[in-house]
Every structure is written in structure tokens, then in C-alpha cells.
Amino acid sequence: MREREAVSGRETAPGIPEQSPAPRLRIVRGDLAPEETAALVAVLTARARAARAAAGAAEEPAPRSAWRDRSRLVRRPLHPGPGAWRMSLRSG
């Protein structure tokens, strides 16, 4: 029992049996070979990761704060004409 605790990293109190986590996959029909079960788990894992990645890509990025927007620091182009000299002193 001590070797198993050291390998699994789980600690249990003396006299209390270690509980295994609930299975996430249950084969209801048929008798699958270990290789077939491994292939099934690989396919289901790949589909779950792809769905998670697609959900993450579909989210829109948060709107950029006006405080972090660097474009406000860039002066707009000056247009010649009456009063253009006043605009040369203003930023944005």
C-alpha cells in the first residue's frame, strides 16, 4: 500500500481505502480490445480539443480602452485654409 501511495502521489489515512475517480468513459456494448479503447479515447480527446479551440477563436476580443489606444497620440494631418494654424497647436 505504501508503494502505491508513493507512486500515485495520493495520501490516505490508515484503514481508509483509496477511492478511484469516477470513469469518464463507459463502454456499454461490445468487448473492445485495449488498442480500440485507446483509439476511441484519442478521437474523443481530439474532438473535445478542437471544439474548445473553436469556441476560443469565436470569442471577440475585449474592446480596447481609450487610455491604451496609442492612435490618439498621433496628430491628424493639417489641412490648409483659414484657421489651420490653430489646429497645429492641438493634438487629436
Region at 2 (left for phi over 0; alpha for psi -120 to 50; beta for the rest): alpha
What are 76-90's pLDDT values in tens digits? Answer: 776 778 877 776 676
Q: Considering the entire predicted model, what is its pTM?
A: 0.39
What are 7-66's pLDDT values in tens digits? Answer: 445 555 566 666 767 777 788 888 889 999 999 999 999 999 998 888 776 667 777 787
Q: What does the angle CA 32 – CA 34 – CA 39 come to, to the nearest 5 degrees?
A: 85
First-residue to last-residue Cα distance in the chain: 72
Distance CA 43, CA 39 (A): 6
Grid cell listed for 53: 479551440
Distance CA 4, CA 11 (A): 10
